[in-house]
Amino acid sequence: MGMKIKRIGMFTLVVLLILSVVGCSSNTETAEVAGSVGGGSSVIKVASVTPLSGSQAAVGESIKNGSELALAERVDEFKALGFDLQFAPQDDQADPKVGVAVAQRLIMDDDLLAVVGHWNSGVAIPSSEVYANGSLAMVSPANTANDVTDRELPNVNRICARDDAQGPAGADYAFDELGIKSIFILQDKTTYGQGVADEFMNQYKSIGGEVLGYEGVTAGESDFSAVLEMVRASGAEAVYFGGIYPEGSLITKQLKEKGIDVKFVGPDGMDSGEVINIAGDAAIGMTYTSLAADISGTPEGRVFIDNYTKMFNKAPEAYSSYGYDAMNVTLNAIKAAIEGNGGEKPSREDVVAAARATSGFKGLATNVTFNKRGDNTEANIYILTFDEAKYPATVTKEIPATGYLKD
């Protein structure tokens, strides 16, 4: 999910970007004014680092807004402890080089105690190495790549599930609940698509499913007729596609046009309203896994949506609540570190230890308990199915990701 490009109207993004830059600069200004009033050493800053410009600015901004809301709600709580809590939103432009430069700047700021970020796993991985050098705690709202925590850096944590959980979860669901006993696997040859398809295949084989074919397609192409003929010839009951919605939707549509009657199972790359635009009625019956919870059903979720809409004048997106939860986990860790330090401002090392010790956190989108790698043992994977040609799809099952954690 982290590596995915949200292909929404470019122009909207540009407008959003301009607005968000305007928004950010005014925020920093007020923060600086508050800082100078409060005086040097009592200031505690927490950064959010997400793409605020470029093609992924919309999702980056929605995460930043979620964490900004969480921080704003707790300024008074920190004031009571004698600290001036400030928000420092940063733009990584979805670019690893920019992310590392931002990280270098952040570790130079002594008042900055923790980071909420990033959106792209490819940015989070190199940037978190820099944070590790500066002993800066990072709580990731949305980075799903295995390597984010598999490097076992003490400062890196994430509240969402891992990529190697959704492939196997999808395989279990397809085999046990959908009763699919033989499958044909397609993937788009990207790190994400092939990775998730391979995880799916290993699990599916190990629980007794039969893999009748494994083929790659090229992202950006439109004609999948030859591989679909192979699907037909193989006689598989279903297709698993490791990849993202433009190709996935076309495959779904072409399967229907060719009259190949198989089920379609996919990863969270299929989680987009565009699926319906492209595939239309052919999308009915499609099943996919997702790592983001839908919070609109809970009372807390509705309060969050109200507050968010009031503060930012727009509705939250799927990962806003993860930005909110990640910030609260971070602030709880800072608070615990303050208490552990006798009410004095804690060191960054204290915050790193306190963040990793997070346990039993009850959040909006997810509960959080970190294991020794910094993976969240309480993260969930969601199975969704299109019952009608309408987005979003219906959640048919919630699977705890903890069963898929390797340790």
Closest approach of another protein to the CB of residue 176, in Å: 28
Closest approach of another protein to the CB of residue 4, in Å: 14
**Choice between 209 and 246, CB closer to another protein:** 246
Closest approach of another protein to the CB of residue 205, in Å: 15
H/E segment holding residue 399: strand 394-400
**Choice between 1 and 227, CB closer to another protein:** 227
Neighbours of 6 (CB within 10 A): 17
**Choice between 141 and 246, CB closer to another protein:** 246
Neighbours of 307 (CB within 10 A): 15
In angstroms, rounded to a whole number, what is the distance separating the alpha carbons of residues 349 and 334?
A: 11
Closest approach of another protein to the CB of residue 69, in Å: 26
**Choice between 275 and 354, CB closer to another protein:** 275
Chain center to CA of 125: 14
**What is the CB-side half-sphere exposure of residue 85 using CA atoms within 13 A?**
25
**Choice between 73 and 274, CB closer to another protein:** 274
CA dihedral 37, 40, 43, 45 (to 10 degrees): 110
Query: Would you report the helix, strand and coil content of the chain in percent, each value rounded to 5?
Result: 50, 20, 35
Closest approach of another protein to the CB of residue 234, in Å: 8
Neighbours of 300 (CB within 10 A): 13
In angstroms, rounded to a whole number, what is the distance separating the alpha carbons of residues 332 and 209?
A: 44
**Choice between 218 and 359, CB closer to another protein:** 218
In angstroms, rounded to a whole number, what is the distance separating the alpha carbons of residues 46 and 114?
A: 5
**Choice between 279 and 405, CB closer to another protein:** 279
Chain center to CA of 3: 9
**Choice between 231 and 401, CB closer to another protein:** 231
User: Do 231 and 254 form a contact (C-beta atoms < 8 A)?
Assistant: no
Closest approach of another protein to the CB of residue 9, in Å: 4
Where does residue 343 rank: exposed (0-12), middle (13-18), buried (19+ CB within 10 A)?
exposed
Beta-bridge partner residues of 349: none
Closest approach of another protein to the CB of residue 249, in Å: 7
Footprint on this chain of another protein (rule: CB under 8 A): 7-12, 189, 213-218, 220-223, 225-227, 229-230, 232-233, 246, 249-250, 253, 257-259, 274, 277-278, 280
Closest approach of another protein to the CB of residue 98, in Å: 22
